[in-house]
A and B are shown apart, each in its own frame.
Chain A
Amino acid sequence: MKRPPSLPAPPEAAPPTAAELDLRRERRSERQLLLWEIGIVLLIAAIVVARELLL
């Protein structure tokens, strides 16, 4: 369907600045920390189970 001529063309998204890209990288690394911590909790749980099996 053709767009009515009265509507303006949608604005082109401006490319992110270096500072914004920086911020996205930081946010990603912050979120990864939770994954690390989940992994650490699983490791500790495995150690506890291993101890129970050994004793």
Chain B
Amino acid sequence: MHLLAAILIALVLTGTLPLIAGCYQFALAGLHGFRSRCTPAGEFYPNVAIVIPAWNEALVIERTVDQLARLEYPHDRLRIYVVDDASTDETPALLRAKAAQHPGLVFHLRREQGGEGKAHTINHGLRVIQAEGWYEAVLVIDADVIFTTDSLRRMTRNFADPEIGAVMGYIKEGSRPANWMKRFVGYEYVTAQAGARRAQNVLGAQACLAGGAQLLRRESLEAIGGAINTETLAEDTVTTITVQLAGMRVVFEPHAIVWAEEPGDVLGLWKQRVRWGRGNVQVTLRFRHVWLRRESGPLGGIGFGLIWFSVFLMPVFMLTSSASLLALYFVDRTLAQEVFKALWAITLVTYLFVTLSAFALDRDSARRVWREGLLFPGAISLLIIAYAVYPPLFDRYAADGLRDLGIDPHAGLSQAIQLFTYVWLSASMLAAWLIKQLDKSGHLRFLVAPLLYLVGFGPLLCAVQTAAYVKELQGKEMRWEKTEKTGTVGDLA
């Protein structure tokens, strides 16, 4: 019996692994100013070819190109190639006009047969720049991203160190006004980019150069065979890992800010993230010989493995944790209550550390998205935290409140509430999936936002990852479903 209880307690506590990994990342991020392996010089200006894949981007492409033409970067060292993937809207006409407006700077490359996907479109551009041979570095960006005027020079200065093979900028959600979903993504990017990638700079290994703004040194492009991978849904992660396995370092430049437009509803986010999640499954399997092996260098380190697998396996940890807590309840109720309290106390400490550190890390974003930061785990989870760490709050006041409402807080109700709190880690994922279904149905859509604040954005991401596992296991067809961009990025550059 004791052994069973001990095993169950250990399994319950696996639910804290992603939280501990989150704290670990932010603790490392705090050391970024002292132990970062990213040591940029003041100035360094290689010839940069910018490659932009574009398919029906008439709403955004003109502004993106105009902003690139305003970069604080020597224009004789800059060329912008927009690869028009057989667009059927105004994109070709707009690009012809831009090429005429900026001769020698903007080039319109037209693919008459398109539809093969983003990776093929990028490779078309890469073939052209390699044939010309002028470039010393290539910047691959999305058609909607808005580079701040100093961002490219802040990225290229890292190449003064010959060991650095690739650099990524800090992509921030830039829609103005930003609705609730975009604000959630805005906060998520502070943790997943500003925090996590600083930590990865300290560890000396990066998980992913975001496809929206990745700068590759010429030698890095050559090391990956001169083209990006077209077999996975995470071509940017494959590039990142392949470059590092070729012996070059990849770094995050936190001061190169790039604004992007992200999905504005649950359904749009779900489609985008299932694609990313499936890509992560593919990458994890493809590079299975790399993880947690000393000979793989920093990519095979325990620290990097903890970060990678805590995100990749988060739904598994959540399900295991709550199922084990429920099992423990039937073995020893008192013990289950103690373990429940410990689990959520750890959750509180890590939540406070990560959330407040994220606010400190990017105060500009914090001013806009602090509500979404505080409610990232969901209001229900915050209530459970309060219940677990300070029971009198509920034992006294909630029971009185129920009596005022004419409800008798008898043992049965109390037990039901207890069981609900025990399974919430898993049930929250189901609830998030139901919110997605509600959004998809088109009915009662006004409820989607308040329900998401209740259930939380974190559980939504876990549910998406679970859906990605399922689709990958089912071997569903890989389709590049483009995230619609409508040009909502504000005047931020």
Residues of chain A having any CB pair with chain B under 8 Å: 16-17, 19-20, 22-23, 26-27, 29-34, 36-37, 40-41, 43-44, 47-48, 51, 54-55
Contact across chains for B33 and A30 when beta carbons are under 8 A apart: yes
| B42 near A54: Cβ-Cβ < 8 Å | no
* 7 A-B contacts (beta carbon < 8 Å): A16-B42, A23-B41, A27-B33, A34-B33, A36-B361, A40-B353, A54-B390
- Contacting pair A44 B32 (CB below 8 A): no
Chain B: minimal CB distance from A13 (Å): 15
The contact of B153 among A19, A44, A47, A48, by CB within 8 Å, is: A19
C-alpha spacing A36/B150, complex, angstroms: 27
Q: Which residues of B contact A26 (CB under 8 A)?
A: 255
Contact A33 B349 (CB under 8 A): no
For B31, B33, B153, B353, which residue has the most chain A Cβ atoms within 10 angstroms? B33
B34 within 8 A of A: yes
A44 touches B33 (CB 8 A): no
B352 engages A47 (CB within 8 Å): yes
Q: Is the CB of A44 within 8 A of B157?
A: no
Sample of 7 more A-B contacts, CB < 8 Å, known A26-B255, A33-B29, A48-B349: A29-B33, A36-B361, A37-B30, A40-B352, A43-B356, A44-B349, A47-B352
Contact A37 B42 (CB under 8 A): no
Asked if residues A34 and B31 are in contact (CB atoms below 8 Å), the reply is: yes
Q: For residues 12 through 41 of chain B, which have their beta carbon under 8 Å from a beta carbon of chain A?
A: 26-27, 29-34, 36, 40-41
| Closest A residue by C-beta to B44 | A19
**Contact flag A55-B390 (CB < 8 Å), given A33-B29, A34-B30, A36-B360:** yes
Asked whether A33 and B157 contact (CB < 8 A) given A19-B42, A40-B356, A47-B352, the answer is no
Cβ contacts under 8 Å, A27 to chain B: 33
- A20-B42, A51-B390 as given contacts; A37 in contact with B360, CB under 8 Å: yes
Say yes or no: A40 contacts B360, CB within 8 Å: yes
Q: Which residue of B lies closest to A25 (CB)?
A: B255
For residue B33, which residues in chain A have a CB less than 8 angstroms away from its CB?
27, 29-34
> Do A23 and B27 have beta carbons less than 8 Å apart?
no
Chain B residue nearest to A44 (CB atoms) is B352
Would you list which residues of chain B between 185 and 224 have a CB under 8 Å from chain A? none
**8 closest pairs, A vs B, by CB?**
A30-B33, A31-B33, A36-B360, A19-B42, A37-B30, A20-B42, A34-B30, A40-B356
User: How far apart are B364's CB and chain A's nearest CB, in angstroms?
Assistant: 12
Closest to B352 in A: A44
Interface residue tally for chain B (C-beta within 8 Å): 28
Query: Closest residue to B354 on the A side, CB-wise?
Result: A40
Q: Does B43 contact A (CB under 8 A)?
A: yes
A-contacting residues of B (Cβ < 8 Å)? 26-27, 29-34, 36, 40-43, 150, 153, 157, 254-255, 349, 352-353, 356-357, 360-361, 389-390, 392
The total number of A-B Cβ pairs within 8 Å is: 63
**In the complex, residue of chain B having the shortest beta-carbon distance to the beta carbon of A41:** B353
Partner of B34, one of A23, A31, A40: A31
Q: Which residues of B contact A30 (CB under 8 A)?
A: 32-33, 36, 254
Bound state CA distance, A19 and B255, in angstroms? Answer: 12
Q: B390 — nearest CB in chain A belongs to which residue?
A: A51
- With A and B bound together, what is the CA distance between A55 and B389 in angstroms? 10
Say yes or no: A17 contacts B360, CB within 8 Å. no
Contact B353 A34 (CB under 8 A): no
Chain A residues within 8 Å of B36, by CB? 30
Contacts of A54 in B (CB 8 A): 390
Q: How far is the CB of B45 from chain A (nearest CB, A)?
A: 10
A54 to B391, CA, bound (A): 11
Q: Are A33 and B30 in contact (CB under 8 A)?
A: yes
Q: Please, which residues of chain B bring their CB within 8 A of the CB of A29?
A: 33
With A33-B29, A37-B27, A55-B390 already in contact, the answer to whether A44 and B34 are too (CB < 8 A) is no
Q: Given the known inter-chain contacts A19-B153, A33-B32, please indicate yes or no for A55 contacting B392, CB distance below 8 A.
A: yes
Partner of B26, one of A32, A37, A44: A37
CA distance A25 to B126 in the complex (A): 36
Q: Distance (Å) between the CB of B394 and the closest chain A CB?
A: 13
A14 to B390, CA, bound (A): 61
Smallest CB separation, A29 vs chain B (Å): 8
Distance, CA A55 to CA B360, complexed state (A) = 31
